[in-house]
């Protein structure tokens, strides 16, 4: 294997491991000036295997330093997903001198001789900003006698009741537990039956409170990832619920399915713990892949990358509450604005020559009378990805059938579609990296995250119309070659 083969498709802006396999983000926490990203990691291969916690740190969530493996398998099993918190007040007793980090994770012990696997929750703690970890001698701290799927603890401090709250994935429900000390856990409630999608196993929950834009209202949001079901073409995906939480029970506003992302490649995402109050953001990132083809994607020596970090909020649209995603402002400093798209009428095709390693496009499109219009990202002369707005269907469709290497999965060829309220007036933020396209529509109301595997990131971008015209304005920024 050559250095060039390792570098092919490696992102400029997204975290990817230097080598070997990665999946779910874990233990995301901010502490003493550093963002910590832990992640499901197999250090001995490029396909899913015995899980460890990999570890990286960053000052800005864009440039990451990969550190030593944080957690290794032991007698209780391999190390599945979980979360990390700062124990500011030494509720655990692990930090008599100064605050430190506690990881809460799932131990997965494979079944033997016909017995099912066992999943339990365990603790580890660090006194040196996450560089070394000590597993709690009383592990595991939480188990279940009958539930086989019992995993992915996401923990936070609930100020109103002065206790730790855990959201846990339990089959096709989320179960909530509470604790005064992260060690002793009490059942609170269970949510999920009759709500949302049950097409696959529920995974990687996250519960938090967000402000509703332009109001004094607040909403609790519960994120739930849905595992791949081979009966359907979606693969793995993520849904969310808005509602209320009283410290014990989550009450949803709706029983309908609300997708966090309409692309194929944003899964198992959760948010950072302990972002300072003076910052105030709820920042999320996901694993940029899909279980349907994650083990087959055409990278050599390494597999998988994370999405760009996104700031979350809630927007009331009509009578519905929607989770809104915006790329974090830290990303802006990596780009320089270099091409203005002055307001113009496009009928046919308008092309911008770029030839860049990464591109950030902001665009406002107003339909005059075109039946269809859209954008094509020209990776090379013969490789391209097309975004089409269809006025008749009020839909945005992403087509990556010509985007480069595609032969590793039949599902990779399927169109990705977002139903919009209208295509008459749309705002886009589009970031193209070496092997990905992230699209946010209408100031973050819709998200579409998609892997692509072209020979180059972007040689040009064109705006095109069919049977009529549109008005277009915006700008393109780039990292440079």
Residues annotated as catalytic (active site), given as ranges = 24
Q: Is 291 helix (H, G, I), strand (E, B) or coil?
A: coil
CA dist 328 and 438 (Å) reads: 13
Q: Is 481 helix (H, G, I), strand (E, B) or coil?
A: coil
Residue 214 CA to chain centroid, in angstroms?
Answer: 25
Q: Is 236 helix (H, G, I), strand (E, B) or coil?
A: coil
Selection from 390, 399, 397, 398 nearest residue 367 by Cα: 390
CA dist 287 and 203 (Å) reads: 13
Structure tokens at 321: 């509450």
Strand order in the sheet with 101-109: 78-86, 101-109, 118-126, 134-135
List Cβ neighbours of 42 (8 Å cut-off, separation of 6 or more). 20, 21, 22, 48, 49, 50, 51, 52
Look at strands 302-303 and 20-31 and give their pairing.
Answer: parallel
List Cβ neighbours of 202 (8 Å cut-off, separation of 6 or more). 149, 169, 170, 171, 172, 173, 174, 192, 224, 225, 226, 227
From residue 475, how far is each of 2, 173, 364, 429, 472 by CA, in Å? 37, 44, 9, 10, 10
From residue 343, how far is each of 269, 337, 406, 473 by CA, in Å? 37, 17, 36, 4
Angle, vertex CA 194, rays to CA 191 and CA 198, nearest 5: 90
Half-sphere exposure of 241 (CA within 13 A, CB side): 25
Q: Judge contact between 362 and 344, C-beta under 8 A.
A: no
Selection from 19, 57, 81 nearest residue 287 by Cα: 81
Q: DSSP code of 371?
A: S
Over its C-alpha atoms, the chain yields an Rg (Å, rounded) of 22
CA dist 202 and 392 (Å) reads: 35
């Amino acid at each position: 294997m050559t250095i060039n083969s390792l570098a092919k498709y490696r992102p400029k802006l997204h975290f990817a491991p230097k080598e070997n396999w990665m999946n779910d983000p874990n233990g995301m926490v901010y502490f003493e000036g550093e963002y910590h990203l832990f992640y499901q990691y197999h250090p001995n291969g490029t396909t899913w295997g015995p899980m460890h916690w990999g570890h990286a740190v960053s000052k800005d969530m864009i440039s990451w330093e990969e550190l030593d493996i944080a957690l290794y398998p032991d007698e209780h099993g391999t190390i599945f997903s979980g979360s990390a918190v700062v124990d500011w007040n030494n509720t655990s007793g692990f930090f008599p001198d100064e605050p430190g980090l506690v990881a809460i994770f799932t131990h997965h012990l494979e079944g033997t001789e016909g017995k099912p696997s066992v999943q339990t929750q365990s603790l580890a703690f660090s006194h040196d900003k996450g560089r070394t970890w000590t597993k709690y001698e009383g592990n595991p701290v939480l188990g279940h006698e009958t539930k086989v799927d019992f995993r992915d603890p996401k923990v936070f401090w609930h100020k109103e009741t002065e206790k730790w709250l855990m959201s846990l994935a339990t089959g096709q429900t989320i179960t909530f537990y509470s604790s005064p000390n992260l060690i002793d856990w009490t059942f609170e409630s269970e949510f999920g039956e009759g709500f949302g999608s049950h097409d696959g196993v529920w995974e990687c929950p996250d519960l938090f409170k967000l402000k509703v834009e332009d109001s004094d209202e607040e909403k609790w949001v519960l994120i739930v990832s849905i595992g791949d079901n081979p009966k359907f073409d979606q693969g793995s995906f993520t849904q969310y619920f808005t509602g209320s939480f009283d410290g014990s029970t989550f009450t949803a506003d709706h029983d309908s399915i609300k997708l966090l992302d309409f692309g194929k490649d944003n899964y198992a995402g959760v948010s950072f713990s302990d972002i300072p109050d003076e910052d105030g953001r709820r920042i999320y990132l996901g694993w940029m892949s899909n279980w349907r083809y994650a083990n087959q994607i055409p990278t050599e020596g390494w597999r998988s990358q994370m999405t760009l970090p996104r700031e979350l909020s809630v927007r009331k649209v009509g009578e519905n509450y929607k989770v809104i995603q915006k790329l974090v402002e830290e990303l802006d400093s990596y780009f320089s604005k270099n091409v203005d798209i002055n307001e113009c009428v496009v009928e046919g095709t308008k092309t911008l020559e770029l030839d860049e390693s990464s591109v950030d496009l902001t665009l406002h499109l107003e339909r005059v009378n075109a039946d269809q219009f859209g954008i094509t990202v020209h990776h090379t002369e013969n490789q391209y990805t097309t975004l089409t707005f269809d006025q008749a269907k009020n839909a945005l469709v992403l087509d990556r059938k010509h985007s480069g290497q595609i032969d590793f999965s039949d599902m990779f060829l399927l169109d990705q579609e977002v139903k919009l309220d209208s295509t008459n007036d749309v705002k886009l933020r589009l970031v193209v990296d070496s092997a990905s396209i992230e699209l946010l529509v209408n100031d973050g109301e819709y998200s579409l995250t998609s892997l692509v595997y072209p020979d180059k990131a972007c040689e040009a971008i064109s705006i095109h119309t069919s049977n009529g015209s549109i008005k277009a304005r915006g700008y393109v920024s780039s990292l440079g070659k």
